[in-house]
Amino acid sequence: MSTALKRVLIGSLGVVLAFGAWQLASKVGPLADSPMPSAGEAIAAMFRLLTTVDLWLSALDTLVIAVLGLLIAIVIGVALGVAIGSSPLIMHATRVVVEFLKPIPPIVVLPILVLVLGPTPIMGIFLVVIGGAIAIAVQTSAGVFDTDPVRKATGETFGMARAEVLARIVLPSALAYIGTAVRVAAPTSLIVAVVAGLLGGGPGLGQSLLQAQLAGNQPELFAYVLILGLLGLAFQGVSSLIERRVLHWHPQFRKENP
C-alpha cells in the first residue's frame, strides 16, 4: 500500500474517531447532561438543512459578501499598495499609521458600521473590505518596494515609460506578495462575512447561526458550525487552486511550493 493511500486512510480514521468521541461524550460523562447534541443528531440536522432552500440562500449571502468584499479589497488594496510602494517618501510617511492599523481586526469597527449602515449586506461587504484592503495594501507596497532595481533599470534602459515599467515589471514581480496577501485574506473574508452576520445582524450563515442559538435549537446550531467548517475548507481549497493557476510561473511561488 502506498504511503499516500495509508495517510488518507489513517486520516479518515482520525476523523471518524473524532466524531465517535463526540458521540460518546454526548452520551456518557460530564457533557451527557448538557444540551450538546450527539454527533448523530448534529449530522442528521446538517443533512436536513442541506435539503432546505433557506440554507443555500444563506450560504449564498455569506459567500457573495465574502467574495465581493474580497475582490473590492484586492482592487483597493493593490491600488493603494502600488501608490505607497512606488514612492519611498510615502512609504515612510505612512509607515506609522499602517503599523497602527495593521493589527486591528475589523470586528472592532463593527459597531460603527452597524450604526451607519444598518444590518445589511453592504455593511458586511464594507467590513470585509476593511479587513482585507489594509493587509493587501501593506503586502503590495512591500512587493512594489522590493522589486529588483536591476530589473527596473533594465526596463528603463529599453525606453519603457514609467507606466509601462510599472505594469510590466513591477506588478508581476510584486504579484507573489500580492498572492500571499490574498491567500491569507481569503479565509479571513469568509470569517468576517460570518461575523457580520453573527454579530452585526447582516444576512447569511452568521445570522442563521445566531437564530439557531437563540431558538435553543442545538442540533441545528452544531449543524451550522459543521457546514461552516466545510465551507471554510472549500473556500481555502478554491483560493489555493486559483493562486496556483495564476502564479505557477512565478519563481518565488515555485520556491515555496515545489
> Which CB atom, from 79 or from 231, has the smaller least distance to another protein?
231
Pull the grid cell for residue 230.
Answer: 466545510
How many other C-beta atoms can be found within 10 angstroms of the C-beta atom of residue 105? Answer: 13
How many other C-beta atoms can be found within 10 angstroms of the C-beta atom of residue 219? Answer: 21
Min dist CB 213 to another protein, Å, is 4
Q: Please give the size of the binding site for another protein, defined by CB under 8 A.
A: 50
> Which CB atom, from 3 or from 51, has the smaller least distance to another protein?
3
Min dist CB 129 to another protein, Å, is 17
Query: How far is residue 125's CA from residue 132's CA, in Å, rounded to a whole number?
Result: 11
Asked if residue 108 binds another protein (CB under 8 A), the reply is yes
Q: List the one residue out of 157, 182, 181, 152 whose CA is nearest residue 168.
A: 152
Among the listed residues 107, 117, 171, 242, the single contact to another protein using CB under 8 A = 107
Asked if residue 17 binds another protein (CB under 8 A), the reply is yes
Asked if residue 10 binds another protein (CB under 8 A), the reply is yes
Among the listed residues 27, 29, 32, 35, the single contact to another protein using CB under 8 A = 35
Query: How far is residue 214's CA from residue 201's CA, in Å, rounded to a whole number?
Result: 13
**What does each C-alpha distance from 113 to 23, 76, 135, 208, 257 come to in angstroms?**
41, 19, 19, 20, 39
Asked if residue 18 binds another protein (CB under 8 A), the reply is yes
Q: Which of the residues 197 through 236 are near another protein (CB under 8 A)? A: 198-199, 206, 209-210, 212-213, 216, 218, 221-222, 224-225, 228-230, 232-233, 236
Pull the grid cell for residue 169.
Answer: 515589471
Element (H, E) at 24: helix 3-27
Pull the grid cell for residue 199.
Answer: 454579530
Min dist CB 180 to another protein, Å, is 13
Q: List the one residue out of 204, 202, 224, 203 whose CA is nearest residue 213.
A: 224
Min dist CB 198 to another protein, Å, is 6
Min dist CB 249 to another protein, Å, is 26
Name the 3-class secondary structure at 257: coil
* Binding interface with another protein (CB under 8 A): 6-7, 10-15, 17-18, 31, 34-36, 100, 102-105, 107-109, 111-112, 114-115, 187, 190-191, 194-195, 198-199, 206, 209-210, 212-213, 216, 218, 221-222, 224-225, 228-230, 232-233, 236
